[in-house]
Amino acid sequence: MKLSRERSWFRFNHRVLLTARREDVPLLEKLRYLAIFAANTDEFFSARVYRMFRASRERPRVPRDYRALLREVQEYVREAGALFAELRLQLEAAGIRLLEPDQLGVTESRYFGAYLAEEVAPKTDLLDAAQVQDLSSGALYLAAGHRRLRYLLRQPAQRRFLPVPGRPGAFVRLGALMRARSDLFLPETMPMYELRLTRIAQLEAVRMDWEELPLALETRLDGAPARLELEAGFPWRAAIARSLGLLDLEVFETPPPLDLRALFELADIGAPGLHFPPLRARRRRGFSRDPFACLRERDVALYHPRDDYTQMIGFARAAARDPGVRRIRATLYRVGRDNPILDALIEAADRGKEVEVLLEGRARFDELVNLYWRLHFEGHGVRVLDYPPGAKVHAKLFLVETGSERFAHLGTGNYNPRNGRLYTDLSFFTARTPLTADVAAYFEALAAGRAPVLQHLASGPAARELLLARISAAAAARGEIIVKVNHLTDARLLRALARAAGRGARVRLLVRSTLTELHPRVEAVSLVGRYLEHARLAAFRTARDWELWASSADWMERNFDRRLEVFFPIEDPGIKGKLLRLLRAQLADDVNAFELLPDGAHRPRWGGRRNSQLRTL
């Protein structure tokens, strides 16, 4: 099996969609999966499809693999629309009604008429049809006209499903209300149809410094049109597609509502029994009370979200407030707007400690938030290191230094408390001198603008060579290899895994999203559950014993050649044993699992009792 990165990734998105059909998933969580599918599809057409999209415009004929990809995506989008129609009936049975405007009473209709006049019409942009080239990416529009297109109305960015006062559980859609009261928005009453455009977000292709970033953000969404969504029966499809330079397969017709991301609104309503039960996260008492005293005795590993992410926040706050701490250094990637870890870094600087951060300004779609934090850091005396030219820093490192000791956190996930509740990730805390010295050397290299040279950790091309050596050793011993990543696309590593399987080693993969090649003798599973699988682990068994590495990096060419990542060993026997048991449990999962097949297809493995996302270390 060989698949393009794009096609393999969108098959992961199809697995997200299929999860909304699981019988054990509560109803409103099914809506959430459907909304995630829609959000992922937006990201796909704004960023992930760029390589194929560009080739389709530069070559005299549209590449066959791009056409095949678009046909497949069309099929999945139709499936999503059909699933929403099914879920709508289930919502009705559960007491949640999505009403049409003609189902409202007289008083309710008057109320919403006033709401449209007061809250919506002043914020709605009315465009002439000739301005179709100016459609904003991601915005929802209504096209109006009789025989020819006359107007385009840009809907304001506000709640799409409006609760009906006095009718608990009843909602009416904003777009349907606007269509019913076109007189409030147009010079004359005329039919209206929904449409939405997605443009290529071009920022990823550009490498810029902090000073150039704001201008790049201003122009990012001016990219080429990549996808047009139209309400089924849209009368001006051909004319608009031609005007925007879109292929017919890049136009998607579906029944309204368009942009199913709006289902997040319904997924978040309070409804007993229609959500997953609350998460009861675990806290380690000794570590939570005094992390540094604990780390002087032993390493600590947390597996989020079953282990409470507030313990990472507590580690950062302890570093900020401990009078013995002199210096804190951290790498920051996707951090979010509200972040108590970053607040702790600012508090440390305010207390007179030396604080340095590598804040990656080019984290796709999070650049503005990171620019916001850069301004905050500089205002409080936090030193923001210049990131290396031509390389992103994606490592997850947090180093605390006293006069004589170092304490380090090495992770697989971002320093983002919101993600810490939603993503499965490993947090590894240590005071081992060989590891903390390498973390310090990593920061010293970044501050000096050079690639790090490491003794016990691995980064860059050296990390690939380390993995190739471990794969080769396991193959020679006819041992065992377990790899857990989000994406596995590196050609050399894929070939090495295939050779190992061919020589008799047992090779098992846990690949959440992208797998571009699968040898028939390699077992592969994708987990899609309540939490987003995000940890990266690699275990190798030879005649001697198991060796276990964790990492911030997926196995992709860019992460070895154009990013600064960190692979770190798990040497504590107790922690290593727990992580190996976790990996085996994930391979045996029969609640959240899809078996990945050599022909590129996937097969659900559901209905059992072995839910690995309920396990703790």
pLDDT (tens digit, 9 = 90+) per residue, 471-500? 999 999 999 999 999 999 999 999 999 999
Q: Assess contact for 339 and 311: CB atoms under 8 A.
A: no
The residue annotated as part of the active site, out of 14, 146, 376, 394, is 394
pLDDT of 577 over the 50 cut: yes
Q: Assess contact for 373 and 342: CB atoms under 8 A.
A: yes
User: Which residues have C-beta within 8 Å of that of residue 352, sequence separation ≥ 6?
Assistant: none
Q: Assess contact for 162 and 112: CB atoms under 8 A.
A: yes
Query: Tell me, what's the pLDDT at 349?
Result: 97
- For residue 141, list its beta bridge partners: 154, 195
> What whole-number distance in Å separates Cα of residue 615 and Cα of residue 609?
12
pLDDT (tens digit, 9 = 90+) per residue, 356-411? 999 876 656 667 887 889 899 999 999 998 877 777 889 999 999 998 999 999 99
Cα–Cα distances (Å) from 410 to 119, 213, 300, in that order, read 48, 28, 11
pLDDT of 211 over the 70 cut: no
> What whole-number distance in Å separates Cα of residue 451 and Cα of residue 506?
35
Angle between helices 367-379 and 340-350 (to 10 degrees): 20
Domain boundaries defined on the chain: 5-267, 285-448, 461-614
pLDDT of 17 over the 80 cut: yes
> What whole-number distance in Å separates Cα of residue 247 and Cα of residue 254?
17
pLDDT (tens digit, 9 = 90+) per residue, 285-340? 999 999 999 999 999 999 999 999 999 999 999 999 999 999 999 999 889 889 99
> What whole-number distance in Å separates Cα of residue 468 and Cα of residue 481?
12
The yes-or-no answer to whether 285-448 and 461-614 have a common fold is yes
**pLDDT (mean) for 521-525:** 97
Which one, of 517, 508, 514, 489, lies nearest residue 1 by Cα?
A: 517
> What whole-number distance in Å separates Cα of residue 302 and Cα of residue 427?
5
Average pLDDT, the chain: 94
Both structure tokens of 226: 């990549």
Superfamily of domain 285-448: Endonuclease Chain A (3.30.870.10)
> What whole-number distance in Å separates Cα of residue 7 and Cα of residue 13?
10
pLDDT (tens digit, 9 = 90+) per residue, 174-184? 999 999 999 99
pLDDT (tens digit, 9 = 90+) per residue, 190-206? 999 999 999 998 654 44
Q: Is 394 a catalytic residue?
A: yes
Superfamily of domain 5-267: Polyphosphate kinase middle domain (3.30.1840.10)
Give the containing element (helix H, strand E) for 93.
Answer: helix 64-93
- What is the 3 state secondary structure string of 367-424? HHHHHHHHHHHHHCCCEECCCCCCCEECCCEEEEECCCCEEEEEECCCCCHHHHHHEE
> What whole-number distance in Å separates Cα of residue 139 and Cα of residue 598?
39
pLDDT of 217 over the 60 cut: no
* Number of residues that make up the chain: 617
**pLDDT (mean) for 122-134:** 93
Superfamily of domain 461-614: Endonuclease Chain A (3.30.870.10)
> What whole-number distance in Å separates Cα of residue 458 and Cα of residue 242?
51
Question: For residue 168, how far is the Cα from the chain centroid?
Answer: 33
**pLDDT (mean) for 126-142:** 94
User: Which residues have C-beta within 8 Å of that of residue 478, sequence separation ≥ 6?
Assistant: 503, 504, 505
Q: How confident is the model at residue 219 (pLDDT cuts 50, 70, 90)?
A: low
pLDDT of 222 over the 90 cut: no
Only one residue has tokens 């999966």, namely 33
Classified as helix, coil or strand, 548 is strand
pTM tops 0.85, yes or no: yes
> What whole-number distance in Å separates Cα of residue 539 and Cα of residue 549?
6
Which one, of 139, 171, 179, lies nearest residue 155 by Cα?
A: 139
Dihedral angle over CA of 244, 247, 250, 252, nearest 10: 80
User: Which residues have C-beta within 8 Å of that of residue 558, sequence separation ≥ 6?
Assistant: none
